[in-house]
Amino acid sequence: MHNDDYQDASNKFERSAEDVFSKPVRAGKRTYFFDVKSTRGGDFYLTITESKRKVERDGSFTYDKHKIFLYKEDFEKFSEGLSEVIGYIQRNGTKPDYNGPEKNEERGTEDFSGVDFEEL
């Protein structure tokens, strides 16, 4: 599917969705929008949008936006993964010194989710 086709399909899907609840969160130069939407069938899902204001050369403003759709059947796994990653960052705080593949071998595989990338 061509990128423009994807954008058109995404916009059509959004227009058919009903807005239920929205929570904007300002964080520095970015704003995150957590939007609960409802499908025609009445199921809720979440869109998370990152919006960052950019100043163009002519002084006008534009916004870079990135959006993900999160469906209720994925909430638990997403939440677990997000909590684990946030916890890791909070515990370790700074970027470790990376010295190539041998450094990863010392760490072991316990930090990884067990995802088989060949399945993707």
> Please, what's the b/e burial string for 88-118 (b: 16 or more CB within 10 A of its CB; e: otherwise)?
eeeeeeeeeeeeeeeeeeeeeeeeeeeeeee
Residue 113 lies in a domain: no
Residue 100 lies in a domain: no
pLDDT in tens, 35-90: 999 998 999 999 999 999 888 899 898 999 999 999 999 999 999 999 999 999 99
Q: What percent of the chain has pLDDT over 90?
A: 52
- The CATH number for 80's domain is 3.10.450.700
Residue 23 lies in a domain: yes
Q: How many CB atoms lie within 10 A of CB 20?
A: 12
Euclidean distance between CA atoms 32 and 82, whole angstroms: 16
Residue 81 lies in a domain: yes
Residue 40 lies in a domain: yes
Token look-up 């088989």 returns 116
Domain holding 28, by residue range, is 3-95
Residue 68 lies in a domain: yes
CA gyration radius, the chain? 19
Residue 55 lies in a domain: yes
Residue 37 lies in a domain: yes
The pLDDT confidence band at residue 17, using thresholds 50, 70 and 90, is confident
pLDDT of 83 reads 97
Question: How many domains would you assign to the chain?
Answer: 1
